[in-house]
Chains A and B, each alone.
Chain A
Amino acid sequence: EYNVHQHDEL
């Protein structure tokens, strides 16, 4: 599952 808390967007 994708970890949304990584916040890979700017």
Chain B
Amino acid sequence: MNVFRILGDLSHLLAMFLLLVKIWRSKSCAGISGKSQILFALVFTTRYLDLFSNFISIYNTVMKVVFLLCAYVTVYMIYWKFRKTFDIENDTFRLEFLLVPVIGLSFLVNYSYTPTEVLWTFSIYLESVAILPQLFMISKTGEAETITTHYLFFLGLYRALYLANWIWRYQTENFYDQISVVSGVVQTIFYCDFFYLYVTKVLKGKKLSLP
């Protein structure tokens, strides 16, 4: 465990809390893509199947449970509790465009052909593209609430910190996991455009709106 990894995990946790706080406080999930949140719930479900079979540490187990809970509570908020506020007309990204290639790739490029390993690989590939429905929604409506942009910032920061973690681990432990690294790089690239807008607009006190 290194400082990049722990800060990455905390940033990921903060992002999920921010999203829940936004929904809970405003009693609204306007501007949030339910499809992205379903994909994240699917990511955690398929990745953490080893929760009971492979014990790593108390930290690891607790974080997995918290991530799963956050993901499912968020989906529940969007599709049940506050579904009247859900902006379904703008959440129109076609999930099959993500799911079909991701399922195909997880069968083609993985570490071994076992159900848990293929599902783990699926979760890694899916996570790298899961935010696309959310980014698509923002580009469609042309704006995002400031708290939603904070959520996206910390979600992207988590990924960037994981890249630093992998460089560190490669240097110190000679550890590398090429599937995670390639997917992580792809995922981080998707946030670059958003990071630019975040720094040039949101941090200067302006609302994120696209021309």
A interface with B by C-beta (< 8 Å): 2, 4-10
Beyond A5-B117, A10-B12, 9 extra complex contacts between A and B, CB < 8 Å? A4-B177, A5-B111, A8-B56, A9-B5, A9-B162, A9-B177, A10-B9, A10-B63, A10-B64
* CB < 8 Å neighbour of B60 from A2, A4, A8: A8
5 CB contacts below 8 A, A to B, read: A7-B54, A8-B56, A9-B5, A9-B177, A10-B12
Which residues on B sit within 8 Å (CB–CB) of A4?
111, 175, 177
CB of B171 within 8 Å of the partner chain: no
CB of B122 within 8 Å of the partner chain: no
A10 touches B112 (CB 8 A): no
Give A10 Cβ to nearest chain B Cβ, in Å. 5
A5 touches B112 (CB 8 A): yes
Please, which residue of chain B has its CB at the minimum distance from the CB of A5? B111
Q: Is the interface of B mostly helix, strand, loop or mixed?
A: helix
B interface with A by C-beta (< 8 Å): 5, 9, 12, 47, 50, 54, 56, 60, 63-64, 67, 111-112, 117, 120, 162, 165, 173-175, 177, 180
In the complex, A10→B201 CA distance in Å?
31
In the complex, A8→B64 CA distance in Å?
11
B174 touches A2 (CB 8 A): yes
A7 touches B120 (CB 8 A): yes
In the complex, A7→B119 CA distance in Å?
12
B64 touches A7 (CB 8 A): no
A7 touches B50 (CB 8 A): yes
